[in-house]
Amino acid sequence: MAFETRDTQRLESASIYGQGTYHITDRLRFTLGGRATTDNQIGNIVDYFGLPDRNSFLPGQTADILKTKFKKATGRGELEYDITRTSSVYGMISNGIKPGGANLNPGAKIVPEVFQPERVDAFEVGSKNEFFDKTLRINVSAFYNMIHEFQVDSEDPTPFLGGLTNVKASHVDGIEAEATELLPYNLRLDGNVTIQESNVDSHQHLLNPSEAEQIDIANGGPFNNNDLADRQAAYAAASSDVYGHTLPKVPPFTANIALQHTAYIEGSGTLVSGIHLIYRNPYYFRIYDDPTTDRVPPQRQIDLNFTYTLEGGRWHADFLVINLTNNASVNSRYSDNFGTFITANYFVPPRQFIGRVGYKF
């Protein structure tokens, strides 16, 4: 069977947003915001696996047109209290939405033609503080995000009819901390740390596209009886339940540290020099948590930057060294699920030297 598909999609999105803050007392204030969003999508399937070509339609016959429309009102509310002039605490509740849409996959058995919007209910508490005559700033927060209808890529028991589907319930929670310290000798230290975990909270069977590819290979290609039966069995297997899996692209630990020095050259200008250290824990880039195809190894990177500004502030020159140690860290991975049977690594760019000269008018 020859494979051919020609389709078009048109997306339209409109929203209106407003926010205001009411000071209950000098120390206590309340912020309320809201957004109304409408998303429209029109998909026009001209031909797909033998559906008739536009030019061969009989009188009165049209292409397969699929229309979706999603409306949602979202908002945020935050209560903030100043403990002192330099310390405050807050609590915030918000929600958001990621539009749904159409897969344009007529005839699929499991993966829907229309996938639902992804929704999140976010809860956060934290504290913002400045100490020692505002030379030390420390902000800390804890968060819990409930995710409904999480959108993931899934394969269908029928080859080439996969697309986005929805996982009913999942969550991400963790803590974040950031600090800035003004040190002696014109030094400044900045850092931030995130510790988080994620979990799929609903039982749901999904067919791993990489597993479906291996089934196709073992059976000599798609669209034969053994292949279709094995793909259906893989979908039904207990191992295909993603309950308890981690969510994609949620590293358990990330940290950034930057040390900066400012040198004032009398009668000439200012030289700002900095070193930036980046670390990120391994994570899974797909919901299937396959250690062979999905696990992204840790990232370690060191960057240098120098900026010289002439007196008067108009001319400046920058010199940057990105990935100083030329570390071959993998930034992300991608598994193709459309017949090429590959998993590609996307590496952090190799060592780069960048120079710039600028002038402010």
Residue 5 has pLDDT above 70, yes or no: no
pLDDT value for 7: 67
Sorting pLDDT into bands at 50, 70 and 90, what band is 315? very high
Q: Please tell me whether residue 131 adopts helix, strand or coil conformation.
A: strand
Q: What is the rounded radius of gyration, in angstroms, for the C-alpha atoms of the chain?
A: 26
8 A C-beta contact, residue 278 and residue 298? no
pLDDT in tens, 284-296: 999 999 998 899 9
Residue 60 has pLDDT above 70, yes or no: no
pLDDT value for 213: 86
Residue 54 has pLDDT above 80, yes or no: no
Q: Please tell me whether residue 233 adopts helix, strand or coil conformation.
A: helix
Q: What helix, strand, coil percent values describe the chain, rounded to 5?
A: 10, 60, 30
pTM: 0.87
pLDDT in tens, 130-187: 999 999 999 999 999 999 999 999 999 988 888 999 999 999 999 999 999 999 999 9
166's CB contacts (< 8 A; 6+ apart) are 112, 115, 116, 118, 149, 150, 151, 152
pLDDT in tens, 75-130: 999 999 999 999 999 999 999 999 888 887 888 899 998 899 999 999 999 999 99
Residue 355 has pLDDT above 50, yes or no: yes
What mean pLDDT do residues 3-19 have?
Answer: 80
Sorting pLDDT into bands at 50, 70 and 90, what band is 225? confident
Spatial separation of the C-alpha atoms in residues 143 and 127, rounded to whole Å: 12
Q: Where are the domains of the chain?
A: 1-178+190-197
